[in-house]
Structure 1
């Protein structure tokens, strides 16, 4: 997606050789038109997979996952990072580290919203080390649901997450692939 690449170059901030801050378009402020275009792209890529639910992790993945679920006409479920007072006791839970936050959190989905009859599409904003993705995959597997694939907005190919997911035999589609952030410059695959 050339428009997405352009926005990353214009609005992204390279914090280090490992970290790209995308607050202006993805993680703090959201461009609804761009989200809907990305959702449409993911929906087209996975339309023939019989998706019954789109799943993401709160919070940065919600807008793109919503756009994808809307385009596919299926519900969106987001894994919570914090237990609420109203949380059910029957939650599927997995402990995961966060690369950008530098902390370990629990992600949870109620068994009420995911079952062995579901065909799940996982959508997320960025994949770096893939810890959140691996945690969500474990939750989906424990629910007995089938993961049909993962759609990632930004794949950081110089980190191990995307390849680790692919090595599990999971289809992973990225809208843009970044091969380097060295020298404060974003380098995309195929550029």
Structure 2
């Protein structure tokens, strides 16, 4: 997606050789037109998989996951990061570290929203080390649902998250692949450093 790459280049802030801040389009402010285009792209990539639910982890993945679910005409389920007073006592949860937040949290989905009949597509904003993705994949597996694939907006190829998911035999599709943030420059997989 050329538009996405342009937005990342224009609005992304390189914090370090490992961290790219995308607050202006994904993580704090959302670009609705770009988000809907990303949803259309993910829907076209996974349309033939018979998706019955789209899942994500709150909060940064919700907008793109919503756009994807909308395009596919299926419900969106998001894993919560905090238990509430109304939380289902029989929830599926997994403890996961967050690369960018530097903390460990629980991600939680109520069993009532995933069943063995579901064909699940997991959509997220960025994959770095893949801890949240692996945690959500475990939740989907424990629910008995089938995971048809993972879609991420930005894959940081220089970190092992996406490759570790693919090594499990899981289809992972990325809209933008970044190979380097070195020297204050964003390098995409289809460019030379």
Q: TM-score range by the shorter chain?
A: over 0.9
Report the equivalent of 1:172.
172
Give the whole-Å Cα distance in 1 for the aligned partners of 2:38 and 2:190: 19
Taking the TM superposition and a 5 Å limit, the aligned residue runs for 1:44-83 are: 44-83=44-83
Instruction: Tell me whether 1:108 sits opposite 2:98 in the alignment.
Output: no
Taking the TM superposition and a 5 Å limit, the aligned residue runs for 1:139-178 are: 139-178=139-178
Alignment gaps of 5+ in structure 2: none
Q: Secondary structure at the match of 2:74?
A: coil
Q: Secondary structure at the match of 2:44?
A: helix
Q: Secondary structure at the match of 1:168?
A: coil
Give the whole-Å Cα distance in 2 for the aligned partners of 1:128 and 1:143: 25
Report the equivalent of 1:93.
93
Paired positions, count: 191
Give the TM-score, by structure 1 length. Answer: 1.00
Report the equivalent of 2:9.
9
Alignment gaps of 5+ in structure 1: none
State the shift of 1:190 in Å: 1.0
Report the equivalent of 1:34.
34
Give me the CA root mean square deviation.
0.3
